[in-house]
């Protein structure tokens, strides 16, 4: 899925792939700032900037008809300099058309849209808006009073309405926040945090995060490295075998409705 996302500064980068006969690994960008909740407890005056960047990340996905389907604070990481990196695209899917319906429960219960929780068909873009609204509520609770963004507070209740069709789409949300008087963001509120400082604050972290899961044996196929050439790079193999890597094995399946 990551190769479909295109370039966005607010979505985690994929550095490479290691595909063996028994396992599949992805090598991801290091997000030294850690999870958004932890970051905002240390730097609450960056909440407005974090909110804007998260909106832009989801907007980038939705312009490509890609649904994340598990937006939540734990999936919003920060770089060492405090830039948002939306991550974890295990449940993501790309729609054929904007009104396409999906089936299959996914996401996290406290941030899952009601229609997804209900187990019926739903629109992934609208479900994302609900999850984004719930996530932004968490961001709002962690910010400093001086960083209030009244226009966002006004639109949040609309994002988490029970009826999907009553929720605005991400383009309308961004337009409203851009056009609203006083919605200009103070980018100077973004604190300058050095990579080294963030690394120490969030230790132990590594230059890359490796996520993998067991894969069924494949016949007649070669491993693919970061450059796409046959055979995984030796350095990547070594990284995957390293005892220092952090490994994730969560996986879920989502099926478009016929």
Write out the catalytic residue numbers. Answer: 70
Q: Report how far residue 177's alpha carbon sits from residue 169's, in angstroms, rounded to the nearest whole number.
A: 13
Q: Report how far residue 23's alpha carbon sits from residue 26's, in angstroms, rounded to the nearest whole number.
A: 10
Phi-psi domain of 190 (left: phi exceeds 0; alpha: psi -120 through 50; beta: other): beta
The upper half-sphere exposure of residue 42, i.e. CA atoms within 13 Å in the direction of its Cβ, equals 17
Q: Report how far residue 8's alpha carbon sits from residue 86's, in angstroms, rounded to the nearest whole number.
A: 10
The residue among 168, 200, 208 whose CA lies nearest residue 30 is 208
Local structure of residue 104 (DSSP, 8 states): S
Cα distances from 201 to residues 68, 75, 142, 197, in angstroms, run: 29, 19, 19, 6
42 near 202, Cβ under 8 Å?
no
């Amino acid at each position: 899925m990551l190769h479909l996302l295109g370039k966005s500064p607010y979505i985690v980068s994929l550095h490479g792939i290691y595909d063996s006969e028994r396992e599949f690994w992805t090598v991801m960008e290091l997000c030294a700032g850690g999870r958004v909740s932890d970051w905002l407890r240390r730097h609450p005056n960056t909440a407005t900037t974090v909110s804007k960047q998260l909106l832009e990340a989801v907007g980038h996905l939705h312009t490509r008809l890609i649904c994340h389907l598990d937006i939540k604070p734990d999936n919003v990481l920060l770089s060492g300099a405090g830039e948002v990196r939306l991550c974890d695209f295990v449940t993501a899917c790309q729609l054929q058309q904007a009104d396409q319906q999906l089936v299959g429960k996914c996401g996290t219960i406290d941030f899952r849209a009601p229609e997804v929780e209900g187990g019926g068909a739903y629109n992934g873009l609208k479900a994302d808006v609900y999850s984004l609204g719930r996530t932004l509520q968490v961001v709002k609770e962690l910010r400093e009073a001086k960083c209030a963004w009244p226009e966002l507070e006004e639109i949040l209740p609309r994002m988490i309405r029970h009826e999907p069709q009553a929720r605005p789409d991400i383009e309308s949300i961004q337009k409203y926040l851009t056009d609203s008087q006083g919605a200009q963001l103070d980018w100077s509120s973004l604190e300058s945090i050095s990579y080294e400082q963030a690394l120490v604050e969030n230790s132990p972290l590594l230059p890359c995060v490796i996520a993998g899961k067991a894969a069924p044996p494949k016949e007649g196929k070669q491993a693919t490295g970061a450059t796409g050439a046959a055979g995984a790079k030796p350095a990547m193999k070594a990284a995957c075998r390293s005892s220092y890597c952090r490994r994730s094995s969560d996986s879920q399946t989502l099926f478009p409705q016929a």
